Chain A
Amino acid sequence: MSAPATRSRRWPSALWRVAAYLALAAVGVTMLLPFAWMVSTSLKSPAYAIEYPLRWIPSEPASTEINGQTCRVAEVKDQPGEQVAILRYSPEGVQVQVISPAGQAGQQRLVPEDRLLPVRRVWFHWENYREAWRAEGVRVTDAFFGLIREADGFLAFYLNSIFVTICVTVGTVFTSSLAAFAFSRLRFPGRDRIFIGYLATLMVPAIVIMLPVYALLSQLRMTNSYSALIFPVMFSAYGTFLLRQFFLTIPRELEDAAVIDGASPFAVYRHIIIPLSKPALATLTTFAFLHTWNDFLWPLMVVDRLALKTLPIGLAHFQDSYTTQYHLLMAASVIVMVPVLIVFLIGQRYFVRGIALSGMKG
């Protein structure tokens, strides 16, 4: 069954390979379908966003101007290559004017209605993205430390998300790596007991921790601030655990030589452990980035000022204001998702490795 590339096993038979590909592709399509539908709807005009039968490629009935009047375009059955503009409907049939081929253009005649096939033309409404970005319902004032007097909602949400995510990610990686160094490389009384305390909290539901912190912040009137968004999520027990597991795999002989030569613990940390741990640090960075970027519950609890909202709760607010405007909702969702997908595609190698690392015993 299992056969990683390095091992000497026969390639699977052709039949089995086709079956495997079909199964993989079927699941892949199911996974992508909602995203494709999101992009498709985001490019439709409001009138055609809700339409049955479903259309994947945004298109609308084509129309043309004839004598200052907007007319639908149709094709006539059994007359390939002929396009006509519909002038008016009457009991005897439909009055049409030929628009192509050019040789017969301008001719008018009567055609029975059931012989007309409406022509649709593909039409991508890119302006939906601009409209969502600039939506009136999410405009903010005094955004980003008051540096921006008035801004489009999504600009503010983006700045907030970027700022908060960078602070949390840098803080997590920095403090976790220092602590993981202490837990894996230094000896001090109670070390293992403290570490087990860290581990035990990984099992505690997040809401248990969030409620008292939320209560404290609101009693101190510190909700609706960047500090509330950043500090409570910055000190990750999980990150410390992940990095400790990795640091333990680095052979001790490397640093013993340095210690005998008089290197301080910080020098060992800075010049030996950190350079050797780039994959693990990249993994934690990716984890912290994605987790903070997508976090919903904590920002929802501590921020209700629109100008301070991060992308997920900003998008939730947008949904409240534009509940039924599906073309705008989908455009806004795409706007929120794109950076995550880019980071994931860049960092996916580290991500996958990190999951495998965190699943190990130790």
Chain B
Amino acid sequence: MAQPASGPSAGSGSPTSPSQGTPRAQSRGGPASCQRGLRSNLAAGPSRSRARRDWLQALPFLLPNLLGFLVFTFLPILACFGLSLTNYELAPVSTLRELREQVHFVGLGNFVHLLGWQREAGRIVASDAEFWRYLGNTLFLMLGIPLSIAGSLLLALLLNQRLRGITLFRSIYFLPTVSSAVAVVIVWKWILHQQPNEIGLLNGLLMSLGVGRPPDWLGSLAWAKPAFIIMTIWLGVGGYNCVLYLAGLQGIPEELYEAAALDGAGAWARLRHITWPMLSPTTFFVVTMSIIAGFQGSFLFTAAFMMTGGGPAGATTTLMLYIYNYAISWHQLGYATAVACVLFLLVFSFTLINWRFGQRLVHYA
């Protein structure tokens, strides 16, 4: 069968391809399948048997993915909520009975400990102070997101100019996003390095710019988080968000700018009153996705795991690392799933709020 070049436009230009495929398809499917396909479209016969037939027709396509989706995505989500109500400690067992003896239902006990507090000597003390601290770390590290998004928008505006070699720049900006996070983290550890008589690249550059005593980035409580934020901005500024903004910019009709120019609008006025509102759906999408990704912080997890071990003194431990430690290092799966559920609820409620109120700021053309 002649395969159309590629892309839907090429296909619609060559009406021969479907009819060429027909003889083959007929010999395989036979006339019966033709009737079935037609009839299901024309809505004949009793609806229940039709529903069953439609299902049988769809099942072979759906099954491989749906089965995997159920086993490895959908049921685990339910299981996570289930496990969070137990004190499940992961230990090797050989029979189901052993497992049942090991797992006890504790109701909301994990959540009470996680989110609860008590009065001690007149002060309110959280029962899991670490959780609140690491939640604070996670939120603090998300401060890089607005900077990163603003940078992406600026870069996209620059990349949208009629200049030669733009593709090269776009690829360079995207490089950190596609690189292995572990390799990136290792080189950044080396860049941020600071030991007596050993100076990393960043501090070397700072010193040649005249900074007398540059900070010990990864070793100090005050500078570890800013170092992580610098890394995430470097990583993300030219990545997905930039490409999304660029696509958004290219979708703005030129007539709008021409009309504005006729009305005497300057560059800033056009940016403020055309580009920014026209990009608001992109901004909405970018902000939503960035914050969901920020709560998960998979790069920050890799960075903390490889560079600092969550230190110094827990300064770079995020909720993800906290969950990982509970589950993998300490085998406390019940508690780990409870923290994971709280993380999920945070993401969920944020997304809900964002949809409810953020949508109002979006201008749909």
Interface residues of A (CB under 8 A from B): 1-5, 7, 9, 11-12, 17, 20-21, 23-25, 27-28, 30-35, 37-38, 41, 50, 52-54, 174-176, 178-179, 181-182, 186-189, 191, 194, 197-198, 201, 203-216, 218-219, 221, 231-235, 237, 240, 249-251, 253-255, 257-269, 271-272, 275-276, 278-279, 290, 293-294, 296-297, 300-301, 311-313, 315-316, 319, 326, 329-330, 332-334, 336-337, 340-341, 344-345, 348, 351-352, 355-356, 359, 361
Establish whether residues A205 and B58, one from each chain, have CB atoms under 8 Å apart when the complex forms. Answer: no
| B:80-114 near A, CB below 8 Å | 80, 83, 88, 90, 92-93, 99
Give chain A residues whose Cβ lies under 8 Å from the Cβ of B320: 207
Establish whether residues B7 and A279, one from each chain, have CB atoms under 8 Å apart when the complex forms. Answer: yes
Check B73 for interface membership: any CB of A closer than 8 A: yes
A31-B172, A32-B175, A359-B285 are known contacts. Are A209 and B76 too (CB-CB below 8 A)?
yes
Give chain A residues whose Cβ lies under 8 Å from the Cβ of B198: 50, 52
Q: Which residue of B lies closest to A205 (CB)?
A: B296
Establish whether residues B77 and A201, one from each chain, have CB atoms under 8 Å apart when the complex forms. Answer: yes
Check B220 for interface membership: any CB of A closer than 8 A: no
Establish whether residues A272 and B257, one from each chain, have CB atoms under 8 Å apart when the complex forms. Answer: no
Establish whether residues B51 and A211, one from each chain, have CB atoms under 8 Å apart when the complex forms. Answer: no
Give chain B residues whose Cβ lies under 8 Å from the Cβ of A235: 64-65, 67-69, 71-73
Q: Which residue of B lies closest to A234 (CB)?
A: B68
Give chain A residues whose Cβ lies under 8 Å from the Cβ of B6: 276, 278-279
Check B341 for interface membership: any CB of A closer than 8 A: yes
Q: Which residue of B lies closest to A348 (CB)?
A: B171
A17-B163, A186-B54, A267-B25 are known contacts. Are A31 and B12 too (CB-CB below 8 A)?
no
Establish whether residues B163 and A186, one from each chain, have CB atoms under 8 Å apart when the complex forms. Answer: no
Give chain B residues whose Cβ lies under 8 Å from the Cβ of A50: 198
A203-B348, A209-B76, A336-B182 are known contacts. Are A181 and B162 too (CB-CB below 8 A)?
no
Check B173 for interface membership: any CB of A closer than 8 A: yes
Q: Which residue of A lies closest to B167 (CB)?
A: A348
Q: Which residue of B lies closest to A33 (CB)?
A: B201
Establish whether residues B323 and A37, one from each chain, have CB atoms under 8 Å apart when the complex forms. Answer: no
Q: Closest CB-CB distance, B354 to chain A, in whole Å? A: 11
| B:174-213 near A, CB below 8 Å | 174-176, 178-184, 186-188, 190-191, 197-199, 201, 204-205, 208
Give chain B residues whose Cβ lies under 8 Å from the Cβ of A31: 172-173, 175-176, 234, 238
Lowest 6 A-B CB distances belong to which pairs? A235-B68, A262-B34, A264-B29, A267-B25, A179-B65, A212-B79
Q: Which of B126-134, B142-150, B152-160 sits within the interface?
A: B152-160
Q: Closest CB-CB distance, A350 to chain B, in whole Å? A: 11
Known: A38-B187, A179-B66, A319-B182. 20 other contacts (CB 8 A): A27-B238, A187-B54, A201-B69, A205-B343, A207-B323, A207-B340, A211-B80, A211-B340, A214-B328, A251-B8, A259-B38, A263-B26, A264-B25, A271-B25, A276-B11, A311-B180, A329-B186, A341-B179, A359-B244, A359-B285
A267-B24, A319-B186, A333-B183 are known contacts. Are A259 and B58 too (CB-CB below 8 A)?
no
Q: Which residue of B lies closest to A334 (CB)?
A: B183
Q: A20–B173 Cα gap in the complex (Å)? A: 15
Establish whether residues A2 and B186, one from each chain, have CB atoms under 8 Å apart when the complex forms. Answer: no
A186, A197, A301 interface centre (most CB from chain B within 10 Å): A186
